[in-house]
Amino acid sequence: MIITTLKEYTPATAQRVRELLIQLSRSGKDKGEIPEEWFKDIIASPWHDMLIAEEDGEILGIATLSVTMGPGIRKNAYLEDFVTDSNVRGKGVGGKLWDAMLEWAKEKGCKNLEFTCGNGREASQEFYKHKGAEVYDTNFFRKPIE
């Protein structure tokens, strides 16, 4: 298995990413295809990347990361999406993606990897705790900009 960053858009990659994101959040099932422009924006940006776990030409998992900047020169990495195919969970794919995420954040000069994990995702929360992530008692808010 290899971990790479997304370098080019293909319809097959877009379809596979969509399939994985549906496994992460069933609400995505009704949202249709992911626009090609979204992939191209990630590829072109120095502050965003999609890491891809692949074996024998098959995408087994993905992680989408961004650099966020605070006051001064403080940078953190923010994990937006992290999912492995349900058929390979528990087989080390997530762990390899996790290590690649930490290396990506380090290369970008980030001090922390930040993310949220919803209620009802006990297996995911145990994975994060096992990997040394601290759990904070907080709520995440998102205000749509209209």
**What confidence score (pLDDT) does residue 135 get?**
80
CB 32 within 8 A of CB 22: no
- Domain membership of residue 143 (yes or no) is no
Where does the pLDDT of residue 3 fall: very low under 50, low under 70, confident under 90, or very high at 90 and above? very high
Task: Summarize pLDDT for 58-80 with one digit per residue, the tens.
Answer: 999 999 999 999 887 789 999 99
Structural domain count, the chain:
1
Examine residue 135 and state whether it is found in any structural domain, yes or no.
no
Range of 7's domain?
2-130
Q: For residue 21, which of 57, 64, 58, 54 has the smallest C-alpha distance?
A: 64
* Among the listed residues 84, 78, 65, 63, the one whose alpha carbon sits nearest the alpha carbon of residue 19: 84
- Of residues 106, 98, 105, 103, the one with CA closest to residue 131: 98
Q: Residue 29 has what pLDDT? A: 63
Query: Considering only 7-16, 30-39, 137-146, which range has the smallest mean pLDDT?
Result: 137-146
Say what percent of the chain tops pLDDT 90: 66
Answer for the pair 97, 105: CB distance below 8 angstroms, yes or no.
no
pLDDT above 70: residue 26: no
CATH classification at residue 51: 3.40.630.30
The answer to whether position 144 is within a domain reads: no
Q: What is the pTM of this model?
A: 0.87
- CA atoms of 126 and 143, how far apart (whole Å): 28
Q: Determine the pLDDT at residue 142.
A: 62
